[in-house]
Structure 1
């Protein structure tokens, strides 16, 4: 069974991903893959350097993610250009990983952890989509605290993505992460029991 996991920036998707992994899910993480495909001197790294210049590189040659983020969150065309470079590379690598995991242990639950799953139109990869949800006001507050930024910048980053309320409406399954960690754990427990029951596999 292939499951999509998504949400919005600062909704806690990575927390839910780790909870699912501890219960036995195999995770294919788009963010991790995105880091791999832009390691120094890879084709992705070269194309990003050609488009954005050395200003987005650290002294050790790795991408300066904050510098690149600052560029693309302020410039919609730059964001489209970056996505045009990264998305084909990320998709290819993620599908390779999923096929390997399925060969390794047929029947396991595979979770595609993809922040922009809806925006990238990748729902046809999966049987169900889980959305990790918090209200936009909570996203903004958590992002300000996490990144040490002001409200205006946090709002711009949140609104660069599809609204979380729209993702909520489109979800097959919803994890409300606006409460305590224990409340989120209970929701994940219930979801995992449902997934493994549908998949005909044991929870462990």
Structure 2
């Protein structure tokens, strides 16, 4: 079985993580797994995670086709911290099991140079136990506000409220092994940092 390193990518909302993921996949052929999308798969009908969620929250969270209506579920859980924790205790282990299985598949096939995991909460969810390194995507606050206004229609007030609830820049820097500054509108600057990081940190 080929040893393939696991690279975690994290950063706050509006950091432009998708730009980094696309480059890693297209330029280097990395397998990219976004944890939010993995959670969607783990919550599909027929999975044990799905059954646990329906048992806990009832059929009122289901769409007509039997799938989980995520906006409805979100409204229920985010009104109660205990319900958030209950949901996380169902979903997070299922996602980690899925991630480990996919990593094992990639190592057995030996077709990709490395695997990339992406989530805003990689550090909080202790993905350092899976990743060889976790890299932080940094963007200046005013640039993030401008980009979120443009891409998501956020007001500056809403953006600042979102940013306030996330890890601070200092915390990200303390716990991550490399930082990509994605503040420039010239994406080539970001690509050069990625290239250098992969080379100097042993991913190539």
TM-score by length of 1: 0.79
Aligned equivalents of 1:48, 1:134: Cα separation in 2:
36
Aligned equivalents of 1:185, 1:146: Cα separation in 2:
21
Aligned equivalents of 1:138, 1:71: Cα separation in 2:
33
| Alignment counterpart, residue 185 of structure 1, candidates 182, 188, 191 | 191
Q: Structure 2: where are the runs of 5+ without partners?
A: none
Aligned equivalents of 1:30, 1:74: Cα separation in 2:
23
Equivalent pairs, count: 198
- Cα displacement (A) at 1:19: 0.9
2:40 equivalent to 1:35: yes
Q: Which segment drifts farther, 75-84 or 175-184?
A: 75-84
Aligned equivalents of 1:132, 1:55: Cα separation in 2:
38
- Cα displacement (A) at 1:186: 2.4
| Alignment counterpart, residue 166 of structure 2, candidates 132, 156, 161 | 161
| Alignment counterpart, residue 61 of structure 1, candidates 62, 66, 89 | 66
Aligned equivalents of 2:58, 2:154: Cα separation in 1:
25
**What residue in structure 2 maps to residue 12 of structure 1?**
16
In structure 2, the residue corresponding to 1:190 is in which secondary structure?
helix
Aligned equivalents of 1:61, 1:174: Cα separation in 2:
42
2:117 equivalent to 1:109: no
Q: Structure 1: where are the runs of 5+ without partners?
A: none
**What residue in structure 2 maps to residue 44 of structure 1?**
49
**Structure 1 pair 49–147 and aligned structure 2 pair: CA distance change class (3 A):** farther
Q: Which segment drifts farther, 144-153 or 85-94?
A: 144-153
Q: Which segment drifts farther, 169-178 or 157-166?
A: 157-166
Give the root-mean-square deviation of aligned CA atoms: 2.8
Q: Which segment drifts farther, 83-92 or 184-193?
A: 184-193
